Amino acid sequence: MKKYPFTIEPLTTEDPTSAFLKAFEAILENPGYRSILDIYSRVSMNCTRCAQECQIYRVSRDPRDIPCYRSSLLLSVYRRHFTTAGRIKSRIFGTPAVSEQELYSIAESFYRCTLCGRCSRFCPMGIDHRIVVRLGRFIMSRVGIVPKALSVSVNEQIKGPARNTSAIPLKALKDNLEFLEEEIFELKGKRVRFPLDVRNAEYVFFAPVSDYLMEADTLMGIACVLHEAGVSWTISTEYFDAINYGLFYSDDVLETLVQSMFDEVRRIGGKKILIGECGHAFRVADMYLNNFTDRTGIPVVSMIDLTARLIKTGRIELDPDAVTERVTYHDPCNIARNGRLVEAPREIIASFIKNFVEMEPHGRLNLCCGGGGGTVSVNEFKPYRMAVSGKGKADQLISTGAELVITPCANCKKQIGELIAHHKVPMRHAGLHDLVFNAIRMNNSGEGD
């Protein structure tokens, strides 16, 4: 059986192309997907405007990386097999059915994309190639074509006893949080708690679970902000992972995990959902929570927005001398491309960092870190992420001349950290709340103070 690229598992089905077409047909029962493929088929003019803006194509010069070419792979299958005109044309010209080689090309090309969406901002026809790539990945996932790392993590989150992508048991989480509380006391001299399972809290906090393992400063910064401002918050113990890889490849996964988050908030009677420093997690919760759960009305708040608001209203105070390095900021695609969180992080930065330099381009037109779309979680992608998809970001980091790059996203942090090491960029990286942790003035008396 053919092994698909990027460590995609050998397929279990004997006839992958038939299975692919069957899955495609099932997904087209959703009129929304048929509609968008219909529109894209008719407006896609292959003008290559997107090629100039794709940071992957700029480096690779490989036609597989031209966004409209990539989309055309799936649109061509759609036209040929699922439209009347396409079927007639295929009969007249004897166009062959989708081949296994074609399916292989789709799999290979679609997992080279980081779903950053920069191309969509420049397409004169308004095509969002991310939708096509994601849909293609969704169809492939129904056939079993998924990078192993993604499917293993998702299985842990949905079926595993710990219900999180890193399989961290609850006991380990509690130990870790206790350690962080001690660490805060040592560094800040205040007792700050990470409250667990507090019923009817204002905010139920979800962080990407990897933060509990690797981003202690981010979590300590968040806890200090919430403590200092006297915010009512809690971490739930039965489901606490904000990660939702379904955004990158599967509606089935997306919906299951959104529902898990919703159920957990309802279980402990939380009023709002608070998402930590994670681009895709915020986008998923913000876009899909009410969509999947029939307008439940649970507001979704980003920790970045909340901190900016608390600074503006004077409920927390940051030391303007705490950070002296030359600092730049990387906009995570999932929160910046749609303009959702562009100003808020800059307001936080401006409130206490004096030596700040913007990357060019930045904001909605930022370059991707090169690890988006789930690729950062797949170790076998690393050579590609370093040499191709992340090269543009590495060059951009160097050109700022900054000593420190901030990014409020777990995926971007991992990718940028690896880029800095790989390209020997004289710079360190940190989360936004890592620096807030350094700078926050703890005026509010904590327990045991």
Partner 1 sequence: MDSLIIISRGPLFRFCFTLMVLGSLRLVWRTFRSAREGGSVTFSPARSGALRETAGLLVLPGRIADTKILFSAASFVFHLGMITVLLLLQDHTQVVETNTGFGWPYMPRNVADILAAVSLAAGVFLMAYRIFNRASRMISGASDYAVLALILGTMLTGFAASRQWNPVSYDLTVLLHMLGGNAVLALIPFTRLGHGLLFPFTRLASEAAWRIPGRLRARL
Q: Which is nearer to partner 1, 57 or 245 (CB)?
A: 57
Does position 305 interact with partner 1 (CB under 8 A)? The reply is no
Asked if 82 touches partner 1 (CB under 8 A), the answer is no
120 binds partner 1, rule: CB under 8 A: yes
Stretch that binds partner 1, among 21-29, 191-199, 228-236, 375-383 (CB under 8 A): 21-29
Q: Is residue 387 part of the contact set for partner 1 (CB under 8 A)?
A: no
Calculate Rg over the CA atoms of the chain. 23
Instruction: With H, G, I as helix, E, B as strand and everything else as coil, classify residue 3.
Output: coil
Q: In this complex, which beta carbon is closest to partner 1, that of residue 47 or of residue 97? A: 47
290 binds partner 1 (CB under 8 A): yes
Residue 187 in the binding site for partner 1 (CB under 8 A): no
Residues 6+ apart with CB under 8 A from 5: 104, 107, 108, 111
Of 3, 12, 15, 39, the one binding partner 1 by CB under 8 A: 39
Asked whether position 99 contacts partner 1 by CB under 8 A, the answer is no
Return the beta strands (E) in 325-431 as ranges: 327-329, 404-406, 428-430
- The rounded distance, in Å, linking the Cα atoms of 75 and 264 is 39
Could you give the maximum distance between any two Cα atoms of the chain, in Å? Answer: 82
Binding residues for partner 1, rule CB under 8 A, total 53
Tell me how far apart the alpha carbons of residues 303 and 170 are, in angstroms, rounded to a whole number: 23
Closest approach, Cβ 290 to partner 1, in A, equals: 5
Q: What is the residue whose two structure tokens read 């930590």?
A: 276
Closest separation in Å from C-beta 333 to partner 1: 14
**Member of 9, 102, 108, 255 binding partner 1 (CB under 8 A):** 255
**Do 317 and 395 contact (CB within 8 A), yes or no?**
no
* Site stretch for partner 1 (CB under 8 A), options 167-175, 266-274, 289-297, 298-306: 289-297
126 binds partner 1 (CB under 8 A): yes
| Residue in 1, 15, 18, 46 binding partner 1, rule: CB under 8 A | 46
CA dist 332 and 334 (Å) reads: 6
97 touching partner 1, by CB under 8 A: no
Say whether residue 158 binds partner 1 (CB under 8 A).
no
Does 314 interact with partner 1 (rule: CB under 8 A)? no
Judged by CB under 8 A, does residue 161 bind partner 1?
Answer: no
SS3 content of the chain, % helix, strand, coil (to 5): 55, 5, 35
Q: Beta strand 404-406 with 428-430: parallel, antiparallel or unpaired?
A: parallel
Q: Per the structure block, which two tokens stand in for 297?
A: 């009305």
CA distance 165 to 168: 8
From CA 366, how far away is CA 337, in angstroms rounded?
A: 8
- Name the residues that contact partner 1, by CB under 8 A: 26-27, 29-36, 38-49, 51-53, 57, 63, 66, 68-69, 72, 85, 120, 122, 124-128, 131, 251-252, 255, 287-288, 290-295, 338-339
